[in-house]
Amino acid sequence: MANYFVSRHRGAMLWFTEQGIDIKEYYQYCEDIDLFIKNDVVYGNLPINLIEILTKRGVRYFNLVLDVPLKRRGAELIRRDFEACNPRFIEYQVIAIKSKDVFI
C-alpha cells in the first residue's frame, strides 16, 4: 500500500505536506492511472472517469474539497487563500450506472 497526492495547485501541495500523511509520490497531473494498485490511497483531484477505474481496482480515493468563492474560481490560490477555503478530504467510490453513451 502506498499513498499518492495529485494536484496541480502549489498551495494544495504545501497544505498537504503538513497533514502528516506519508506520501510516496506527488504528481501535478495523473498521466498514468496504472501507477495505482489495489490498497493504494490517492488524494487530490481527478476526473470522475479515473476515479471509477480506481474504485474498480480497489484503490481508495480522497477528493480534495475546497469552498472557493465564485470570484476566486479558476485563479491560482496561494497558501493563505487555500487555507481560507476550508480544505478537506472526502472519500469517493464511483460506479458507472450505464456503460453506453446516453443522451437525455
Return the SS3 of 55. helix
Q: Is 88 part of any domain? A: yes
Which residues, including other chains, have CB under 8 Å from residue 15's CB and lie 6 or more apart? 79, 82, 83, 87
Q: Is 103 part of any domain? A: no
Q: Is 82 part of any domain? A: yes
Question: What's the structural domain count of the chain?
Answer: 1
Answer yes or no: are the C-beta atoms of 34 and 54 closer than 8 Å: no
Residue 59 belongs to domain spanning: 3-92
Strands (E), the chain: 3-6, 25-27, 41-44, 60-65, 88-92
Q: Is 25 part of any domain? A: yes
Q: Is 100 part of any domain? A: no
Write out residues in the chain with pLDDT < 70, as ranges. 72, 99-104
Answer yes or no: are the C-beta atoms of 6 and 46 closer than 8 Å: yes
Please give the pLDDT value at position 35: 93
Please give the pLDDT value at position 55: 97
Q: Is 34 part of any domain? A: yes
